[in-house]
Structure 1
Amino acid sequence: MPTDAQLLLLDGHIVGSILEPEQVTAAVREAFVLHSRRAGRVFPVVRERLHTGGVFGIKSGDVASQDLLGFKAAGFWPGNRALGGEPHQATVALFDPSTGRPLCIMDGNAITTARTGAAGGLGLRLLARPESSRICVFGTGVQARVQLEYALTLLPRRCTVQYVTPGGTPAPAFESAFRQRCDIDIARDHNDAVASSDIVITATPGAGPLFDADAVQPGTHLTCVGADTAGKRELPEGVLSRARIFVDDRDQARGIGECQWAPHLPCTEIGDLLASNRAAERAERDITVFDMTGLALQDLTVARLLYERAMEQGLGTSVAWPW
């Protein structure tokens, strides 16, 4: 057996330095199309609560035609905030499907942030009304920031942004990050903010409904990020039944996403739109929801991109991994 095999390690600094939004978007788009054509497999998701108060999950899959195989081990540990750390933690591993030998282990935090932001951007481009310019964001964390970043990049007009925090306390750092690109202020009333917005982004821990159902007006597009575990939700009852629902994976959304609360409602996988190169046919007053639970294929196509770039540029740390 070979004794000179190497395992490549990519830390968060390296991963962050070689992630480029356009390339990430292309990789995420590829993942959705692969999934639509069933050319890539998504294995059953593991998502379990721990005795420590954290949530641990594994998303895995493969693309046989590309010899792409791997998983992401990730979760949420709220206690990390008190330690000065990031509550979301993720690690991605790629394997040689012919031998099972690990090829690369990389920090998955930046990958998760970037691929989820790109997915939200793709959904917004396909589903939101083109003239949208009023945005409501629930949350001010990493995912709220990246979703708003993509929205401001994609929308053609200067936007007005209202953001909602749990206690209604302003978040100066969040505001300053976007002040030059939009008119931004904290929402004084979350229902009023939803009612006056074209786009609503929910990027919270998913502890419960964030607003009243009747606050959502005809024509609104909702990007839903926080429901990714059984029992989580951000939307109130009554919104999904009024909406056209789009998901990354139908079964997964009904198991751990917003659709778990209305599994009988029809929904469309967004990869089907991308595979056919068409936007959703929406009426002016249609409410659209993109229920994002995150596909293993998104992590894998982005990780493959990073692995290839790191190998080309000689980045990362190689350690002996004889087998």
Structure 2
Amino acid sequence: MSSDSEFVQRADTAVYETEEPVLYGVADGIATLTMNRPTVNNAQNSQMTYALDDAFRRAVNDDAVKVIVLRGNGKHFSAGHDIGTPGRDINKEFDRASLWWDHTNKPGGEYLYAREQEVYLGMCRRWRELPKPTIAMVQGACIAGGLMLAWVCDLIVASDDAFFQDPVVRMGIPGVEYFAHPYELNPRIAKEFLFTGDRMSAERAYQMGMVNRLFAREGLEAGTYALAAAIAKQPRMGLALTKQAINHVEDLQGKRTAMDAVFAWHHFAHSHNELLSGDKLGGYDAKAMIEANKSAAGERR
């Protein structure tokens, strides 16, 4: 007799505000992927995540593309995972990009574990391994899940008014699913970043080596595309092998295995929250997180 629990049914109530969550264009050997949910600060629902995956694949398959730029439409790069808009589509089935099974009818912890293996950890790892150089062009907020999108890129170029933040420790969770914090920052700074949940300014991120170049907001686009154009002049195979070599060194330093361990702890935290409160996020939706940020900022003034 199987020990598997019975499948369940969940209602998909998502209402999308756009049918184009990601815009795609190519010019001068540079593909531009633009997250296009500006009314919700480019919060990442599955619709957007799968659209990003399709766009990255399209750019890789186009021999005319040498470099890929990822950017966000509107004031902000990305406010992170969608945990509170009408377009939150956690119960919708998609044509999956990896070999994990559909999560929507799975019971218990399997539901969220299968989904996040697919759309967060799995996709981020795929995007990190793209053979073409990628540049994140960051303005405004880059929060939680937004960090994951920036961190999978080879380079980060930011406006001087951008900020970076991972406040999910407030949910009792040890950082976002793609746990690159000790590699993007040194371990002591990574602890401070997570323990406090404070915003890190673009200048501070530049000092820590997380950001490659800083520009005033009005010069961000020109600066980013000048860098992309310079890289695009290099031979394709040289770029691909260099990227592969550096990623391999990071993995030899434990990046991949560490991420596997923290992903498991991340899901222990989700299960712990659900046992205590009935909510995997510990009672935090988007509005509650915004209020917590405001309160924390006020206390530190």
More helix by share: 2
Q: TM-score, normalised by structure 2?
A: 0.28
More strand by share: 1
Greater RCO, 1 or 2 (C-alpha within 8 Å, sep 6+): 1
